Structure 1
Amino acid sequence: MKNFLKITALLLLFVVSTQAQEKNKAKALLDQVVAKTKSYKNIVIDFKYSIYNAKEKINQESKGNVAMEGNKYVLNFMGMTKLFDGKKVYTIVPEDEEITISNYDEADANSVSPNKIFSFFQKGFSYTMDIKQKVAGKNIQYVKLTPTNGKDQRKEILIGIDTKTKHIYNLIEVGKNGTKTTLTVASFKFNQALSKTHFTFDKAKYPKYYINKAD
């Protein structure tokens, strides 16, 4: 009986140790992604976005692109443009010829910013190493994130990381309601020669647009 207890204790210790090692590996890899991203002056990404839910019969795909420099960004997605100049967010909708101007609160946990793709995982998740796959000639290592807040509607998130460049290749989010959203990076460019006014809103470009100031 004593031998059985010793073996059981050793097995439990081995499992706990292995889990801790996997967590440390996952954290180290994510830290490398953050550090690599912060080393660039700017980042320009073309991406594909899909959302799927078999029960709700939802299966949609779309494309977009985003340019980021510091906390500033210009996002083109689903027929709209969102520009953040560091102080205000400008949502430009050509179909309606309307522009909404609002303040951006960095401290707001619910605020949406493309920049957060490279840092959102630093808080509120437990993580471990997942599968490794070769995709289009790239070695992609997945890290699985599990929300630590039980009220979070996300079941898990998989971050696919190119082990050579330490760039994020894709994000796969699985909701508790069965919805699966995937963001895949089609092209990743950095330190581009962007104009000084790239992240500046120019009202003169939209003479006929209705401007709505939300804040």
Structure 2
Amino acid sequence: MKKVFFLITTIILSFSVNAQKDPKAKALLDDVYNKVKSYDNIYIDFKYALDNSAENIHQETKGDVTIQGDKYVFNYLGATKIFDGSKTYTIIPENEEVVIEVNEGDSEGNITPSKMLTFYKEGYNYSWDILQDIKGRKIQFVKLTPIDSNSEIKEILLGIDAQTKHIYNLIEVGSNGTKTTITVNSFKTNEPISKSMFTFNQAKYDDLGYYIIEN
């Protein structure tokens, strides 16, 4: 679940770049970054696919995420993850449990929108890639290559709709040959959302008999 959220936040936020990068790619990514940051909130419905031909693996699933600032609600594989700005609540109905973690945003290895910006500024080189016509949309790809030669990621291709400057898809190729693809089915912005959307109602889950785990 953490890896998928890592990729989804990449799609949502994109990033600003400033090192030895392709100027053309930098300009496009900056356009995406500035546009997305202007929204009050963002909702994404996505398809996730994982493929490894050598291992004969193909998996597909769907999910969605709503983000407002650093707060988010992430639904994936039947679980819900809520970050209210200070604590993370992972609700797992299958196990009838809730895991509460404090200050996830400051914990090493945990991915939040704000951390994604810093991570990609420092971790990747960027280059201009191919332009494809996908279902009548002009999708411009930017290739991200890890600076760390020991990275488990070989490359990431970020597909950007040339007209809307929104992310269309993300393709991550691992050093082991595994390809992960996230495709945006629906991208909505500035939707009316409940004030309690990012608030965890513990009484509700106490009444349901859920086991509450606090870390």
Q: 1:147 to 1:27 in 2, by over 3 A?
A: same
Shift of residue 108 of structure 1?
4.5
- Name the structure 1 match of 2:121: 122
In the alignment, is residue 96 of structure 1 matched against residue 101 of structure 2? Answer: no
Residue deviations 1:12-39 (CA, integer Å, cap 9, x gap): xxxxxxxxxx810001111111111110
Q: 1:202 to 1:182 in 2, by over 3 A?
A: same
Instruction: Within 5 Å, give how 1:23-34 maps onto structure 2.
Output: 23-34=22-33
CA distance in 1, matches of 2:115, 2:170: 12
User: Contact 1:64/1:76 (CA < 8 Å) preserved in 2?
Assistant: yes
CA distance in 1, matches of 2:74, 2:119: 18
TM-score, normalised relative to structure 1: 0.85
Instruction: Within 5 Å, give how 1:57-96 maps onto structure 2.
Output: 57-96=56-95
User: Contact 2:45/2:64 (CA < 8 Å) preserved in 1?
Assistant: yes
User: Contact 1:168/1:185 (CA < 8 Å) preserved in 2?
Assistant: yes
In the alignment, is residue 164 of structure 1 matched against residue 163 of structure 2? Answer: yes
CA distance in 2, matches of 1:119, 1:48: 26
Q: 1:52 to 1:114 in 2, by over 3 A?
A: farther
TM-score, normalised relative to structure 2: 0.85
> Unpaired runs of 5+ in structure 1?
1-21
Q: 1:40 to 1:168 in 2, by over 3 A?
A: same
User: Contact 2:63/2:77 (CA < 8 Å) preserved in 1?
Assistant: yes
CA distance in 2, matches of 1:104, 1:115: 13
- Name the structure 1 match of 2:148: 149
Q: 1:178 to 1:159 in 2, by over 3 A?
A: same
CA distance in 1, matches of 2:76, 2:88: 15
- Name the structure 2 match of 1:3: none
Query: Which amino acid letter does the alignment assign opposite residue 211 of structure 2?
Result: Y
Q: Percent identity of the aligned residues?
A: 54
Q: 1:121 to 1:114 in 2, by over 3 A?
A: same
Query: Which amino acid letter does the alignment assign opposite residue 155 of structure 1?
Result: K
Shift of residue 176 of structure 1?
0.3
Aligned length: 194
Q: CA RMSD in A?
A: 1.9
In the alignment, is residue 211 of structure 1 matched against residue 212 of structure 2? Answer: yes
CA distance in 2, matches of 1:198, 1:77: 17
CA distance in 2, matches of 1:109, 1:210: 26
Shift of residue 137 of structure 1?
1.9
Residue deviations 1:98-145 (CA, integer Å, cap 9, x gap): 000002343545212367667753321111010111112211100000
- Name the structure 1 match of 2:200: 201
> Unpaired runs of 5+ in structure 2?
1-20
Residue deviations 1:42-80 (CA, integer Å, cap 9, x gap): 000100001111122211000000000000000000110
